[in-house]
Chains A and B, each alone.
Chain A
Amino acid sequence: MKASDILSYSFSAIRLRKLRAGLTTLGVVIGIAAIVALLSITQGLQETITQQLQRGFATKTLIVSAGGGAVFGGADAAGSGFKLFVNDTQTINRLENVELSVAIIQRTGSVQFTTGARNVTIVGVDFTDYASIYQTTFVAEEGVIPHNSTNEMVVVGKRVSDPWKNGTILCNVNDSAEIIWLNAAARPPKHENYTGNVTAILQEIGGFGVSGPSDFNVYIPLSKAQSFFGTDQCNMIIVKLINDDKTTIDDVSKAIKAVFGNQVSVMSATAVLNTLSSVFSVIELFLSGIAAISLLVAGIGIMNIMIVSLMERTREIGILKALGMKNRTVLLIFLGESVIIGLLGAVIGVASGWGLANVVAIALGGGGGFGLRNQASHAGGFGAMAINPVLTPTVTLLALAFGIGVSVIFALYPAWRASKLKPVEALRYE
C-alpha cells in the first residue's frame, strides 16, 4: 500500500472519532505548550539578564574584594580580618596585563535636594579611571563627568534625578545636593553630611549594575569619600585588563590572589556569566522535566485510545487482512494515526506555548517592571526588566520531534498488536 494511501486511511479513521481524537490531541498540545512556554520564558529571562549583566559589567574587568567570595556585597572578610585599602590599587597596577584599577568605597545613605530626598548608595570613585573602565555606562547625559574633580562634585544616576520616569525631576546639573550618611561606628551613631554640587547626570543604564554603574547611585570623588566616610578601606577594587582572553583573566586573578596572600576573592564578569548560564541550564532542565511529565501523561492517553480503537476495529483489521493487507501496513496505519495526532498536537502546542509565553511576559513585564527594585543594595539593584520570550529553532524542532516521538512510542504496542491479529479470529470478532 502506498504511503499516501496509508496516511489517508489513518486520517479517515481519526475523522471517524473527532471528539476522541481531539481530546487525545489536547493532551499532546498541553504537554508541548508547557515545554515551549517554560523554555522560551526561561531562555528569554536568561538572555535579558545576560545582556544587562554584560552592559553593566565590562567583560575585561575583575572585581577584587576582601575575603572569600563576598563579591556582590563587598563585605569585609569575616574570618581573617584582612582589609583591602585604597592604595592597594598601586600593588595591582604593577601586575602584568593590568591596565588600571579603581578602588571603590561605598555606603548606604541618602541625598537631599531642594525638591526632595532619595535613599541611595553613595559610591566614592576616581571619576576618570571609573569612566575609562565603564566607557559605555558611566556616561553623562547632562553635564560633564569631571576629569579634575574637586570635593564638591557629585555625579548622580538617572533614577536619582528622575526617580519615577514621569518628568518629575529631583535635580538638575549645578543644583546643590546634600549628601547624608549614618555613621553607625560613632558613639552615639550620627548623621554625617556635606553639601555638594551636581556636576553630571548619567544616562540611563537599565538592568543590574553588579559592581558597575547603576541608575540608583550617587558618585562622589574617592578622596572626598575617604574623608567623608573616615576610612581608607575600600569595598572592592575593579581591575581593567588589557584584554578579555581567558588566560589573561586567569593569570591576573592568580597573580592578584598571590600578592594578597589568598586573602581576597577575585571575580571575573566572564565567570559570573558562566555561572549564571549553568544555573539557567539546570533551571531549564528542571522545568522541561516537569513539562515532560504532562507529555508522558499525554502519551499514556494515546496508548489508551489506540488500544480502545484496536478493540473496536478488530473486525475491520480482519477485513483488511482478508483483502490482502500485510501486517506491516496494518502497523503503519495505526502508527500513522498517532503520528497525525502527535504532529497536530505538537504544532498547536508550539504555537500556543509561544502565545502563552508572550502573555506571561507581558503580564510580568507590564506595569513598570519585573522583579525587585533593590535600590539601596551595594551592588546597585534591578531595574525594570522586560522579558522577551525566546523561541529558538532548536527548541521548536525538539518540541515537534518530542510530540511525534511520544505519540509513536506509545502507539507502538497497540499498533504491533493490531498487526499481529490472526485474520480468522479478527473476522469472527464481534
Chain B
Amino acid sequence: MAAIVEAVNLKKTYMLGKVPVEALRGVNLKVESSDFLAILGPSGSGKSTLLNLIGALDKPTEGQMLIENIDISTLNDNQLADLRRRIGFVFQFFNLIPRFTARENVELSMSIADMSKDARRKQAQDLLEIVGLKERMNHKPAELSGGEQQRVAIARALANNPKFLLMDEPTGNIDSKAANDIMGLVKRLNEEKGVTIIMVTHDQRLASQAKRTVQMFDGLIVTETVNNQ
C-alpha cells in the first residue's frame, strides 16, 4: 500500500540562542493508509518536532518529509496551508477558539476550506454526533469538560475528511476515565471508519493501544513494534 506519510533521513536543527540543537538526527518512517501509529518517547526525544514536520507546520533542515509523495520542503506558504486543511490536528491543550460554540469550532475548519454554510452546519452536527456531543454542541469550550473539549477537537480535526489524524498527547490533559473514552473513540474511528492515526505520547499504556509503536530517543527512532491487539 502507498505510504501517506514518509520521512526519509529527516533532520531538524534548531538554534537555541547561539547553540544549535539537533532535535531530529535522521528519522526514517512510513505510515500507510488506515494505520494507527503511536510515537513514544520521553520529553526532548524529538517527537513533537517530528509531529510538527508531519503536520506541515514546519520544514526539515535536511532529508525529506513526504506527504502523499510530495516533499513539503518544495511547497510555499499557501500550498502548505492547503495541505494542512487535509490534516486533522488534535492538540494536547485542545486549542479550541473560546468564543465559539462547539459547533462553530467544528465549522471553523470547514469555513477555512471554503465549504458552504449549509453543508458545514450539517457536517458539524454529524461529526459532533459521532464523537457523542450532539446534545452539547451549542456550548462554549469553557462550559465543557476536558474530555468533551477534546471530542470537539477530534470532530474539528475530522471535518475536512483528512488524510490522517495527527494527535499530540490527546489525553495528556484530561482525567483517566475521559482519556479511556477518547482512546475508545480514536480506536473506533481507526477500526470502523479506516481513519489513519498518528499519535504522539509519552505514555506506554496509551501507545500499546495503537497498531504500531515507534520508540524515539535523542532525535532518532530506536525501536519499532507491532502491537498485538
B113 within 8 Å of A (CB atoms): yes
For residues 391 through 430 of chain A, which have their beta carbon under 8 Å from a beta carbon of chain B?
A: 422-424, 427
A322 at the A/B interface (Cβ < 8 Å)?
A: yes
| Contact digits for A1-28, partner B, Cβ 8 Å, 1 yes 0 no | 1100100010011011000000000000
- In the complex, which residues of chain B have a beta carbon less than 8 angstroms from the beta carbon of A424? 52, 57-58
Interface contact A2-B100, CB-CB below 8 Å: no
Verify if A323 is at the interface (C-beta below 8 Å from B): yes
Cβ contact within 8 Å between A2 and B89: no
A12-B100, A324-B82, A326-B78 known; A319 vs B58 contact (CB < 8 Å): no
- Also in contact, A322 and B78, with CB within 8 A (given A1-B112, A1-B114): no
Within 8 Å of chain A (Cβ to Cβ): is B145? no
Contact present for B55 and A322 (CB under 8 Å): yes
Q: Are B81 and A315 in contact (CB under 8 A)?
A: no
A324 and B109 in contact (CB under 8 A), knowing A2-B114, A424-B57? yes
B111 touches A321 (CB 8 A): no
Q: Residues of B contacting A316 with CB < 8 Å?
A: 97
Contact between chains at A324 and B84 (CB < 8 Å): yes
Query: Closest CB of chain A to B57's CB: distance in Å?
Result: 4
- CB of B77 within 8 Å of the partner chain: yes
Is B136 located at the chain interface by the 8 A CB criterion?
no
B82 & A423 in contact (Cβ 8 Å cutoff): no
Judge if B108 is at the interface, Cβ distance under 8 Å: yes
A315 near B95: Cβ-Cβ < 8 Å: yes
Interface string of B53-76 (1 = CB under 8 A from A): 001011000000000000000000
* B212 is an interface residue with CB less than 8 A from chain A: no
> A1 contacts B77, CB within 8 Å?
no
* Chain B neighbourhood of A5, CB < 8 A: 111
Using CB atoms, name the residue of chain A closest to B104: A12
The answer on a CB contact under 8 Å between B57 and A324 is no
CA distance A423 to B84 in the complex (A): 11
Q: Chain A interface secondary structure, helix, strand, loop or mixed?
A: helix
Tell me, yes or no, whether A78 is within 8 Å of chain B by CB. no
Closest to A326 in B: B81
CB A178 to nearest CB in B, in angstroms, measures 85
Q: How many residues of chain B get a CB closer than 8 Å to chain A's CBs?
A: 27
Answer whether residue A327 sits at the interface, using C-beta atoms and an 8 A cutoff. Answer: yes
User: Does B99 sit within 8 A of A, measured CB to CB?
Assistant: yes
Residues in A whose Cβ lies below 8 Å from that of B25: none
A323 to B57, CA, bound (A): 10
Does B134 have its Cβ within 8 Å of any Cβ on chain A?
A: no
Q: Is B121 an interface residue (CB 8 A)?
A: no
B57 touches A423 (CB 8 A): yes
Q: Does B85 contact A (CB under 8 A)?
A: yes
Q: Which residues of A contact B100 (CB under 8 A)?
A: 12
Q: A323-B85, A327-B77 are in contact. Are A12 and B99 (CB under 8 A)?
A: yes
Cβ distance B159 to chain A, nearest Cβ, rounded Å: 9
Closest to B111 in A: A5
**A2 nearest CB neighbor, chain B only:** B114
The docked-state distance in angstroms from the alpha carbon of A424 to that of B82 is 16
Residue A305, interface by CB 8 Å: no
Hey, which chain B residues are within 8 Å of A15, CB to CB?
99
Contacts of B58 in A (CB 8 A): 422-424
**Which residue on chain A has the smallest CB distance to residue B97?**
A316
Bound complex: CA A1 to CA B81 (Å): 12
- A325 contacts chain B at the CB level, 8 A cutoff: yes
Question: Are B97 and A324 neighbours in the complex by a CB distance under 8 Å?
Answer: no
Instruction: Collect the chain A residues with CB atoms within 8 Å of residue B113's CB.
Output: 324
For A330, the closest partner residue in chain B by CB is B81
Query: Which residues of chain B are within 8 angstroms of A319 by Cβ–Cβ distance?
Result: 95, 97
Mark B76-119 against chain A: 1 for CB-CB distance below 8 A, else 0. 01100111111101010001010110000000110111100000
Q: Is A320 an interface residue (CB 8 A)?
A: yes
A248 contacts B by Cβ under 8 Å: no
Give Cα A9–Cα B97 distance, bound, in whole angstroms: 11
Q: How far does the alpha carbon of A5 sit from the alpha carbon of B97 in the complex, in Å?
A: 15
Interface presence of A176 (CB below 8 A):
no
Mark out the residues of chain B between 153 and 180 whose CB falls within 8 Å of any chain A CB in the assembled complex: 156, 160
Proximity bits, A307-332, B CB within 8 Å = 1, else 0 = 00000000110111111111111000
Q: In the complex, what residues of B have CB within 8 A of residue A321's CB?
A: 57, 81, 84
Q: Which of A315, A322, A325, A329 contacts B57 (CB 8 A)?
A: A322
- 26 inter-chain pairs at a CB distance below 8 angstroms, sorted by A residue, are A2-B114, A12-B100, A15-B99, A16-B99, A316-B97, A318-B95, A320-B108, A321-B84, A322-B55, A322-B95, A323-B85, A323-B108, A323-B109, A324-B81, A324-B83, A324-B84, A324-B85, A324-B86, A324-B112, A325-B112, A326-B78, A327-B78, A327-B81, A329-B112, A423-B58, A427-B95
Given contacts A322-B89, A324-B86, A326-B82, 6 further A-B contacts (CB under 8 A): A1-B111, A323-B156, A325-B112, A424-B52, A424-B57, A427-B57
Closest A-B pairs by Cβ, 9 of them: A324-B85, A324-B84, A326-B81, A423-B57, A323-B109, A5-B111, A319-B95, A424-B58, A424-B57
